[in-house]
Amino acid sequence: EVYAAATGVGQDASERADLMNYEEWELIWNDLGFMRELGVRKVGAAFAQSRMTVIDEHSKTGKSAQLERLPFEGFMEALIRLSDSKVLPSVEEMENNGHRFPGEYLMA
């Protein structure tokens, strides 16, 4: 809901608030601080490759709901696609910075 409010999703009757558009997707990765490492191209490709196939893209529901936005399943697929590109710190890097777990290191 935070990202939907920031991008104005739901103000138009053809937009469904339960689907994520590209602007929301990009905001998440900017807020997490991963855009520099992953890059706009990789983030955009993960979004595009995770969209559902649409039989009639000229229909109102086909275009707005599925062709340009991700449902929850598409969000999870895109997340997995990007997780394959994220580099985790080595044990030495974590120990040098006083962290025991990769999550602590990444969020520090």
Judge whether residue 98 has pLDDT over 60: yes
Question: What's the Cα-to-Cα distance from 31 to each of 3, 13, 55, 62, 77, rounded to whole Å?
Answer: 10, 28, 34, 30, 20
Q: Give the angle 49-81-1 at the CA atoms, nearest 5°.
A: 80
- For tokens 């990769």, name the residue: 102
pLDDT of residue 60: 62
pLDDT of residue 37: 84
Percent of the chain with pLDDT over 70: 71
Instruction: At 9, give phi and psi (nearest 5°).
Output: -65, 140
Segment among 32-41, 45-54, 56-65, 80-89 with least mean pLDDT: 56-65
Tens digit of pLDDT for each residue in 11-48?
A: 554 566 678 889 999 999 998 888 888 899 999 999 99
Judge whether residue 55 has pLDDT over 70: no
